[in-house]
Amino acid sequence: MSSEKLDGLGYCETLFAALAEKLTDVAYVQDVDESLKARGIAPTFPETRFCKGCVLPIVDVITTAYLRSKAEASQDAIRASLRCEGFQTLSQYYEFNNSMSGYIGSPWNRDKTLPSKSGDSQHTGANPDFCVRFNGAKSLRVVGEVKYLPNRLTSAAGVQQTHRELLHYLSIQTSSHSDWAHDFGFGITYCAKGDSARGAELVMDYWQSDKIAIAYFHA
């Protein structure tokens, strides 16, 4: 018997609202970044600090609440569905609390595909920043990608790159070693230059055609 797919658009809108509430506050984002960097955590990788320090905790909280509400899922079942790049080191980036379930593994698909996510002729694996692969009577399967642009106030190209990479991930239907395959994509494109508050918009230009929503933060 096939699962009932949960409302992907509703999930995207809920996640976007939570991200916008926190990430439009530039001082908050900068404080997280500076604190992690001062502790020597990913000192040369600002996108990693942003993704793990600011984005992934919110994804966990929202996914946990959403699946508890919509699928009556247990914390263990939710945790089994949450994957992110570098999950082994998350405790260095933020404190776990009871509103979270935690990430259990990597989203990586090691099978080589052509073209790569950049659109070139290299055979590469697929390694999104995070994903949810929840199965049961109801299912939620989303692949996520984060782009952090420290030297940009705005970036239409950044949004397009996020879309292109998510589209690549969604085009891959199987994996020889994992439960890969996703129903929709959610991206975050964050332009971080300067100290002014960020505007936030949920870009839905690609939803009808590709099932991709992108949270775009810009000055």
HSE (side-chain half, CA atoms, 13 Å) at 137: 5
Contact 82, 103 (CB under 8 A): yes
Q: Pseudo-torsion of CA 146, 148, 153, 154, nearest 10°? A: -30
Residue 157 has pLDDT above 90, yes or no: yes
E-only strand ranges, 13-156: 82-84, 109-113, 124-126, 130-134, 138-149
Place of tokens 């994957």: 83
Q: What per-residue confidence (pLDDT) applies to 174?
A: 74
Q: What per-residue confidence (pLDDT) applies to 117?
A: 53
Contact 100, 79 (CB under 8 A): no
Q: What per-residue confidence (pLDDT) applies to 180?
A: 84
**pTM of full prediction above 0.85:** yes
